[in-house]
């Protein structure tokens, strides 16, 4: 097998593709030859070059249903559930609205899209689903109870789907990013004391880059990862190793 990633002839759907890790994933898959559909709340207002934009607020189940109906005639070979939000605050003061919002986008949308788009993959006997988990799939974090709970559930969701669909030829895996320089981590990056404490625990000693996560996703979407099912691949600069 050639050690290169060629996704020519594949159609990929990437959620949260407007910026950050999602945009890097969409661009990387496009660079590997895939036709890429990018989902974002208002992505059509500033569509990434070479990416077909699909507007959808993934916190709204009616909009998810409408998106799935629009996608029904198309064959989706690759699904990347990347969209995610964070709501920070002490647990004792954590609003239920923040909890619900995080669960809706980070967990519920991933389940619904994987379930519905995955049915056709199972029927065809092939397909790739990659979820974006987190190092907080393994740890509790600080001030982010909803995010940590949702990302822990994403890891279990990945394993659950893999258990049922591996025999049907569908690979379901996840990447677990560590601390990556994106809009979601802007508050941490601006907090010099917190950043210093975090980087002291990262063996690589730096923030990750979105394209470094995208490279792992591209691998998981390729034939090179054909025997991987239910894997949660950490791309964290060594955070979990320390």
Q: Looking at the annotation, which residues are catalytic?
A: 147
Contact assessment for residue 26 and residue 36, using Cβ atoms and an 8 Å cutoff: yes
Residue 46, burial from CB neighbour count under 10 angstroms (0-12, 13-18, 19+) = exposed
Question: Looking at the DSSP assignment, which residues form a beta bridge with residue 236?
Answer: none
Is 113:61 a contact under the CB 8 Å cutoff? no
CA 214 to chain centre: 10
Distance CA 53, CA 56 (A): 10
Q: How far is CA 206 from CA 190, 196, 217, in A?
A: 14, 10, 20
DSSP string, 125-164: T-EEEEEE--GGGTS--SS-HHHHHHHHHHHHHHHHHHHH
List the structure tokens of 96.
């239920």
């Amino acid at each position: 097998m050639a050690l290169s990633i060629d996704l020519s002839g594949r159609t990929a759907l990437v959620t949260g593709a407007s910026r950050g890790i999602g945009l890097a994933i969409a661009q990387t898959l496009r660079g590997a030859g895939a036709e890429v559909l990018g989902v974002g709340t208002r992505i059509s207002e500033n569509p990434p070059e070479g990416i077909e934009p699909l507007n959808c607020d993934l916190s709204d189940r009616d909009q998810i249903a409408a998106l799935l109906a629009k996608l029904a005639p198309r064959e989706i070979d690759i699904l990347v559930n990347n969209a995610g939000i964070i709501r920070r605050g002490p647990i004792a003061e954590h609003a239920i609205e923040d909890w619900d919002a995080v669960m809706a986008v980070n967990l519920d949308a991933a389940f619904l899209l994987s379930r519905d788009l995955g049915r056709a993959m199972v029927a065809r006997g092939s397909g790739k689903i990659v979820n974006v988990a987190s190092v907080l799939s393994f740890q509790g974090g600080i001030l982010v109870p909803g995010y940590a709970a949702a990302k822990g559930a994403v890891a279990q969701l990945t394993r659950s789907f893999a258990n049922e669909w591996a025999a049907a030829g569908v690979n379901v895996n996840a990447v677990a990013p560590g601390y990556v320089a994106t809009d979601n981590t802007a508050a941490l990056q601006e907090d010099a004391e917190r950043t210093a404490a975090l980087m002291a625990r990262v063996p690589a000693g730096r923030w990750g880059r979105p394209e470094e996560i995208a490279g792992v996703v591209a691998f998981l979407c390729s034939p090179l990862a054909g025997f991987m099912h239910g894997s949660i691949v950490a791309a964290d600069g060594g955070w979990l190793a320390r």
